[in-house]
């Protein structure tokens, strides 16, 4: 597992800092579940030690020592030797039989899970509390051209931590804005490797969506990973099953749904209204979580339980909000931000930034000429995406003809004729 160093200025959260449990009572999960993890780990490793099991299961030596003594009394292990005060041992015949039985139910032998109650407390304690102003937002969106008017809408919406509906014509940076909202957070959070519910294990930490950070405090419970606040983006691929627990039949453990992995961070539904999951189904699924900040999940055999829904949900769409949701749902999305088409001065600023970043030689009136080309043939609006997209075509033309990229008027005519469909 790789870890990203915590950047200067970021702080390890103080609102939630769990100490290493030294007893089973403080561990918060059943002794039988810990026993299952120990015997499965021993079955995988053959011979192990107190210190190795402590490291692999991420619990204190004192808890592993307690389990070792219990297993020794039950003749489930055989001692092979010692290194200092550390025992080396393996499963006995009875221990292997027990481990095989437990392995048929679940193959999980990783980090000891945290309790559901502790997960609730941790998530609530680490709720985002922002204090930002226009200057801070300007810095967060420094690689975009964003008007003060738009920043002054985004600021209060982000501070409220209530859901946000970002809408408007396509190509004006709605997705880019949503993805950069994460930059306003200057802290880190603790995420558990897994959570226990009714003796079932739900895997939460996911290196694909969570960015782990180094942690200097050796007293923090190692069952938790210090991470940047997560940002999960879903588009047209979103289906209902992604929002529910998924049982891996092979391993016997559950994978947390996307909204659970996004807790204490941001969940972006991009191109809302174009998902495989219908807008009505998604809105019906989340109408209670958005209102009450709790969600409900169900284990395969029917046990239903509550989890926190402590995340900022951002819906991004180029469709009319009234065509996607009824008034009752739109009321629950308290922040609605319209991202309009860009003005000529803003278009020119975007143009200048694009050609500077790509080192494209351009004539002095290229921005004005591109604007005229973009607005001909009945088109009435300038989009923020035009300069970058047309530059991409210019680069392709230059590679095709084996010459350096240029931005002459004939080149712009050629590129825009490729870019825009005839009307």
Residue 12 pLDDT level (bands cut at 50, 70, 90): low
- Integer Cα distance of 39 and 99 in angstroms: 5
Is the predicted pLDDT of residue 5 greater than 80, yes or no? no
Encode pLDDT of 376-407 as tens digits: 988 899 999 999 999 999 999 999 999 999 89
Q: In terms of Cα–Cα distance, which of 310, 328, 217 is closest to 267?
A: 310
- The first and second tokens of residue 329, run together, are 């749902």
CB-CB contact of 237 with 276 (8 Å) = yes
Q: Going by CATH, does the domain composed of 30-112 fall within 3.40.50.300?
A: no
Q: pLDDT digit string (tens) for 309-361? A: 999 999 999 888 878 877 777 877 889 999 999 999 999 999 999 999 999 99
Would the pLDDT of 4 be above 60? no
Closest to 218 measured CA to CA, from 362, 423, 19, 72: 19
Q: How many degrees, rounded to 5, is the angle at CA 195 between CA 190 and CA 196?
A: 155
Q: Is the pLDDT of residue 110 over 60?
A: yes
In contact, 10 and 187? CB cutoff 8 Å: yes
Give the pTM.
Answer: 0.88
Residue 77 neighbours by CB distance under 10 Å: 24
State the CATH class of domain 119-338: alpha beta
**What's the chain look like in SS3?**
CCCECCCCCCECCCCCCCECCCCHHHHCCCHHHHHHHHHHHHHHHCEEEHHHHHHHHCCCHHHHHHHHHHHHHCCCEEEEEEECCEEEEEECHHHHHHHHHHHHHCCCCCCCCEEHHHHHHHHHHCCCCCCCCHHHHHHHCCCCCCCHHHHHHHHHHHHHCCCEEEECCCCCCHHHHHHHHHHHCCEEEEEECEEEECCEEEECCCCCCCCEECCCCCCECCCEEEEECCEEEECCCCCHHHHCCEEECCCCEEECCHHHHCCCCEEEECCCCCCCCCHHHHHHHHHHHHHHCEEEEECCCCCEEEEECCCEEEEEECCCHHHHCCHHHHHHCCEEEECCCECHHHHHHHHHHHHHHHCCCECCCHHHHHHHHHCCCCCCCECCCHHHHHHHHHHHHHHHHCCCCCECHHHHHHHHHHHCCCC
| pLDDT tens profile 275-296 | 888 888 888 888 889 889 999 9
Q: What is the mean pLDDT of residues 265-270?
A: 95
Pairing between β-strand 47-49 and β-strand 77-83 as defined by DSSP bridges: unpaired
The pLDDT of 410-420, averaged and rounded, is 94
Domains 30-112 and 119-338 share a fold: no
- Phi, psi of 281, rounded to the nearest 5 degrees: -65, -40
Q: In terms of Cα–Cα distance, which of 235, 249, 206, 311 is closest to 105?
A: 249
CATH architecture for segment(s) 344-419 = Orthogonal Bundle (1.10)
Q: Is the separation of the CB atoms in 151 and 138 below 8 Å?
A: yes
Domain ranges for the chain: 30-112, 119-338, 344-419
């Amino acid at each position: 597992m790789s870890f990203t160093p915590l950047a200067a200025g970021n702080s390890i959260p103080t609102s939630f800092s769990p100490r290493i449990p030294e007893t089973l009572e403080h561990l918060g999960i059943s002794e039988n579940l810990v026993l299952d993890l120990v015997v499965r780990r021993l079955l995988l490793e053959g011979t192990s030690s107190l210190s190795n099991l402590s490291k692999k299961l991420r619990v204190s030596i004192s808890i592993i020592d307690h389990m070792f003594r219990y297993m020794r009394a039950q003749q489930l292990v055989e001692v092979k030797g010692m290194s200092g005060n550390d025992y080396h041992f393996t499963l006995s015949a009875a221990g292997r039989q027990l481990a095989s039985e437990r392995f048929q139910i679940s193959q999980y032998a990783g980090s000891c899970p945290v309790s559901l109650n502790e997960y609730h407390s941790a998530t609530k304690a680490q709720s985002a509390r922002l204090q930002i102003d226009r200057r801070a937002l300007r810095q967060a969106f420094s690689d975009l051209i964003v008007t003060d008017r738009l920043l002054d809408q985004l600021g209060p919406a982000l501070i409220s931590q209530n859901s946000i509906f970002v809408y408007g014509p396509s190509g004006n940076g709605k997705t880019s804005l949503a993805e950069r909202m994460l930059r306003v957070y200057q802290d880190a959070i603790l995420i558990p490797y897994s959570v226990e519910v009714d003796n079932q294990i739900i895997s939460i930490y996911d290196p694909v969506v969570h960015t782990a950070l180094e942690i200097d405090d050796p007293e923090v419970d190692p069952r938790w990973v210090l991470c940047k606040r997560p940002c999960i983006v879903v588009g047209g691929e979103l289906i209902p099953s992604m929002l529910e627990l998924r049982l891996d039949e092979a391993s016997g453990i559950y994978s947390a749904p996307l909204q659970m992995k996004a807790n204490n961070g941001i969940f972006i539904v991009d191109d809302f209204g174009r998902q495989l999951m219908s807008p009505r189904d998604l809105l019906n699924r989340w109408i209670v979580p958005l209102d009450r900040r709790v969600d409900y999940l169900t284990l395969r055999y029917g046990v239903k339980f509550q989890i926190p829904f402590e995340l900022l949900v951002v819906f991004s769409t180029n469709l009319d909000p009234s065509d996607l949701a009824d008034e009752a749902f739109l009321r629950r999305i308290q922040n609605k931000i319209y991202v309009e088409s860009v003005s000529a001065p803003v278009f020119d600023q975007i143009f200048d930034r694009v050609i500077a970043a790509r080192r494209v030689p351009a004539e002095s009136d290229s921005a004005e000429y591109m604007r005229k080309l973009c607005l001909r043939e009945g088109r009435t609006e300038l989009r923020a995406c035009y300069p970058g997209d047309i530059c991409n075509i210019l680069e392709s033309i230059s590679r095709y003809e084996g010459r350096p990229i240029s931005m002459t008027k004939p080149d712009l005519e050629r590129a825009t004729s490729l870019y825009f469909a005839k009307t």
